[in-house]
Amino acid sequence: MSLRIVFTMPVSKAMGQSLVRAMSSQAVGSKNVGFIGLGNMGGHMASNLIQKGHKLHVYDISKDACKTLKAKGATVYTKTADLAKNSDFVITMLPNNDIVWETYNQMTADGVNKQTMFIDSSTIDPNLVRQIQKFISSKGARFIDAPVSGGVNGAAAATLTFMVGGTEEEYNIAKPILEGMGKQITYCGSYGMGQAAKLCNNMMLAISMIGASEAMNLAIRQGLDAKVFADIINSSTGRCWSTEAYNPVPGITPIAPCNNNYSGGFSTDLITKDLGLAAGVATATNTPIPLGALAHQIYRTLKARGLGDKDFSVVYEFLKNDENK
């Protein structure tokens, strides 16, 4: 009679999570990925997924946007429900609360593939995230929020930051897909926490862009050369993303929208919407946001002046020329 001895080693929780992440990463392979919303950001994000070897199923109200993705190998759909039923993952990148809610209602009206994971990368109210999650869960599928930061240039370069809300298991399942579009994939907590992080980030972004615009304008009006002052501020304590990577003064940051009459990029309409969402959650949590509220008012004024379709860095032109308005 032979004696067989088997040694087992206890696996810690951390080690177990590492194994799950490793297995998820290895298993991702080529997936059927649905992508709804091929705008300034979404078009680049979908293109990067194609480059990573995924089969893309796309939908957008813009025929030109769909045509561009079709030329890269994507399959274009006229019905979001058909797109969803043929996708392992569905990513939505849409403008606002109403459009997101309507899209998920239409997409799942006739049921869902219960193996599909839905990922919303729009910027919406955290309460709406939780509402959609319950709605999708009731149909037997999974939903997480994963808004992004990094702008159009980050979307094009696949260096976006994703802020994910959901369970850790869902995060680990989605992470390999998100890594095809971004560099930093961060788990923020339960449903809606990704949006909570995004709204706070975008409020900070709006405040810093206004501050950068004010400082650049003041320096130039005193006679300082714009490039000289930009170099100074970017090696000093005032440095921030708005001065370094997205300077609002033409001729300083070559790839910034200000060099193209503030076209493209992240629109004033969208930053105003995001500031409104931030104001809503601030009220709900009884949180003072004096600078966030002022930034919201400034961008609402830009919208009223007909600048809603311009990149949000157009606030520099507004401040520079405000005395003549």
H, E, C per residue of 108-146: CCCCCCCCCEEEECCCCCHHHHHHHHHHHHHCCCEEEEC
Task: Report the percent of the chain where pLDDT is more than 70.
Answer: 90
Q: What is the pTM of this model?
A: 0.86
What's the rounded Cα separation, in Å, for the pair 217 and 187?
Answer: 38
Question: Lowest-confidence range among 17-21, 127-131, 165-169, 205-209?
Answer: 17-21
What's the rounded Cα separation, in Å, for the pair 39 and 32?
Answer: 20
Q: Is residue 198 annotated as a catalytic residue, yes or no?
A: yes
Question: Lowest-confidence range among 28-32, 171-175, 244-248, 314-318?
Answer: 28-32
Average pLDDT rounded to a whole number, residues 230-244: 97
Predicted confidence (pLDDT) at residue 8 exceeds the cutoff of 90: no
Q: Which tokens sit at 200?
A: 């706070």
Convert the pLDDT of each residue in 275-322 to its tens digit: 999 999 999 999 999 999 999 999 999 999 999 999 999 999 999 985
Average pLDDT rounded to a whole number, residues 92-96: 96
Q: With the C-alpha atoms ordered 75, 80, 82, 88, is the resulting torsion angle positive or negative?
A: positive
- pLDDT at position 14, please? 45
> Of 31, 85, 175, 198, which is the active-site residue?
198
Question: Lowest-confidence range among 8-22, 41-55, 121-135?
Answer: 8-22
Band (1; pLDDT cuts 50, 70, 90): very low
Convert the pLDDT of each residue in 76-92 to its tens digit: 999 999 999 999 999 99
> What is the helix, strand, coil percentage profile of the chain, to 5?
55, 15, 35
Q: Report the amino acid identity of residue 54.
A: H
Q: In 3D, which of 195, 109, 214, 200 has the Cα closest to residue 144? A: 195
Backbone angles phi, psi at 277, to 5 degrees: -65, -40
Q: Name all domains of the chain by residue range, CATH numbers in brackets.
A: 13-190 (3.40.50.720), 197-324 (1.10.1040.10)
Q: Using an 8 Å Cβ cutoff, are 116 and 90 in contact?
A: yes
Predicted confidence (pLDDT) at residue 15 exceeds the cutoff of 90: no
